[in-house]
Structure 1
Amino acid sequence: MYFSRIRIRPDVRDLHLLLSGNSYGAHQLLWKLFPTREAGRSFLFREEVAREQIPFHKGVRGEPVFYTVSESQPRADNPIFCVESKPYAPRLVAGDRLAFRLRANPTVARKTEGKKNSVRHDVVMDAQYHLLRELAEEMGVSASGDKSKIKTQLLSVWQKVSVSRSIETRLRGIIARNERLAEAATNTMNPLKLLDVALKAHTNKSLEKWFCEKGERLGFTLVRDSVKRRLKFQSEGYQWHALPKKGKDAGFSSVDFEGEIEVVDQSLFHKALFEGIGPAKGFGCGLMLIRRA
């Protein structure tokens, strides 16, 4: 396997204006760096901003820089890209601790009425909609419409129903169960702020659950710090990436995860490093970057 850093050549740097927000277009261009025999298989890649990754390189601006993991070494004789590659064979054993970064497309499969197969849903939106709909049902308001509409309906009757106290208690309980936000559970907050913080806490726990379940199957587990015994884990940077060529509402989400993990099964973990984690690998998701903790 090979780990590569791939930059746009200075004389075609304006190409990044066309690639901006176009992960699939980037994938198609990167594909050309690999042997024809690999044309039918995927490789892992992650896009970053050059000035953040290599700030001391002359002339670096906001163009993308790509990191890839591939079975074959990418070609260096390309008119668009500068390619730097090295063999990638991390020597890991159970018990090793690693700092990690992962951009992934977290989804959950759910049975849908009228459909034979399970339907995959965005973890973030799924978690928020489920909580909002449960609250709407408890408060006796309509749970139809988009997330913003449901929130507006909830807040409009917040002080008018007898269950408002129990709703507040429930939301503070959700916040208290989130290690990073627990201290906010006793803060004075208006209904909108309380609801937003609870949604964030609930979403973060759902993402943590998704990541931990992946770890169970792929040979790693999250690590806790030695002082507050909190998980060394955070999930940020939720984005929705539209794919208009595939349909009006087509697209995928991405979330940036980082923290510290411990290797439990090196064989399974090596597979995760080389094959990726989660779906949407063709759009720049799934590549886990690691270093010794």
Structure 2
Amino acid sequence: MSLYFSRLTLNPDPSTRALAQLLNPRDESKKVDAHHRLVWTVFSDGTARQRDFLWRYDGKGRFFTLSARPPKAHDLFLPPESKAFEPDLRRGDRLIYTLRANATRDRRGARSKNRRVDVVMDLLHAVPKKDRSTARMKMAQTAAEAWMARQGALKGFAPVETIADGYSTLQLGHRRREGATFGVLDLTGEIEVTDPALFLPALAQGFGRAKAWGCGLMLIRRAG
């Protein structure tokens, strides 16, 4: 399957800047929703289209995407900068990465039913409420290391270094039943490729959940 890596830069002309509060709200939850809709403008070609792309916002008016189709031109963006995504990866290659991930795992619940839990919040539940704010990033680091190890075992890489740079929660929808709350881990570090045949499809599929909301795209470059 052909893949395209693209950079989309918001158009700096006055007509786009006039929409700044709509396209890039200050509230983080509203921002994720606005960006979700914004990125769809260059990939949607009909009501039946299913998402076949990953995306991430860089905080500087730019979006990075990995997609099965090149993005279309749109007045809200400068012309897309796209290239074929064809990394030549071998076993033992080391890569520096950044990843924004909604990291979850299945936990057995009552009556032997599994339920999906956020890996950071799952650890924080064992910490007294008065101590959670100070323990937050320590738990995020512990959870991130374990989650990346599990991901790597299934998807053809081994973590060399995992750094949790941040952890936040986002709320989609004003009421619980209208939306969802999910956790976001911002990760950087280094990995070693153990099985390119597994790792390359995993890059295309993305890591973790909430991929429609800007999570899951691993940006890589060679170490050294």
Fold-level similarity (TM above 0.5): yes
Q: What is the 5 A alignment of 1:192-207?
A: 196=134, 200-207=137-144
| Percent of residue pairs bearing the same amino acid type | 38
- SS of structure 2 residue aligned to 1:214: helix
Q: Determine helix, strand or coil for the equivalent of 1:239.
A: strand
In structure 2, the CA distance between the partners of 1:16 and 1:237, relative to structure 1 (3 Å rule), is farther
DSSP-derived class of the 1:36 partner: coil
Please report how far the alpha carbon of residue 28 of structure 1 lies from its aligned counterpart in structure 2 after TM superposition.
2.3
1:121-270 equivalences in 2 (<5 Å): 121-132=117-128, 147-148=129-130, 151=131, 196=134, 200-223=137-160, 232-245=161-174, 247=176, 250-270=180-200
Cα 1:32–1:202 change in 2 (3 A) is closer
- Structure 1 15/117 Cα, relative in aligned 2: closer, same or farther at 3 Å? farther
Higher helix share: 1
Deviation, 1:208, is 0.4
Per-residue CA distance 1:171-219 (angstroms, 9 max, x = gap): xxxxxxxxxxxxxxxxxxxxxxxx945x643442222001110011110
- Contact map agreement 1:42 1:282 (CA 8 A) in 2: no
SS of match in other structure, 2:52? coil
- After the TM superposition, list the runs of 4 or more consecutive aligned residues in structure 1 that deviate by more than 4 angstroms: none
Structure (1 or 2) with the greater strand fraction = 2
Whole-Å separation in 1 of the counterparts to 2:77 and 2:117:
35
Q: Distance in 1 between matches of 2:85 and 2:124?
A: 39
> Cα deviations across residues 122-170 of structure 1 (Å, max 9, x unaligned)?
11111011244xxxxxxxxxxxxxx23xx49xxxxxxxxxxxxxxxxxx
- Residue type matched to 2:96 in 1? A
The range that moved more, 102-111 or 258-267, is 102-111
Distance 1:130 1:79, change over 3 A: same
Q: Give the SS at the match of 1:73.
A: coil
Q: Specify whether residues 48 and 86 from structure 1 end up closer, same or farther in structure 2 by C-alpha distance, changes over 3 A only.
A: same
Q: Is the 8 A contact 2:99 2:217 kept in 1?
A: yes
Query: What is the deviation of 1:290?
Result: 0.4
With the length of structure 2 as denominator, give the TM-score of the two structures: 0.85
Q: How does 1:269-288 map to 2 (within 5 A)?
A: 269-288=199-218
User: 1:45-194, aligned counterparts within 5 Å?
Assistant: 45-50=55-60, 64-76=61-73, 78-82=74-78, 83-113=80-110, 117-132=113-128, 147-148=129-130, 151=131
Question: For the aligned residues, what is the CA RMSD?
Answer: 2.3
Q: Distance in 2 between matches of 1:196 and 1:207?
A: 17
Residues 246, 216 of structure 1: CA spacing in aligned structure 2 closer, same or farther, 3 A cutoff?
farther
Structure 1 residues 39 and 32: CA distance shift in structure 2, 3 A: farther
Counterpart of 1:222, as a letter, is P
Larger Rg: 1
User: 1:7 corresponds to which letter in structure 2?
Assistant: T
TM-score (norm 1): 0.66
For structure 2, the residue ranges without an aligned partner over 5 or more in a row are none
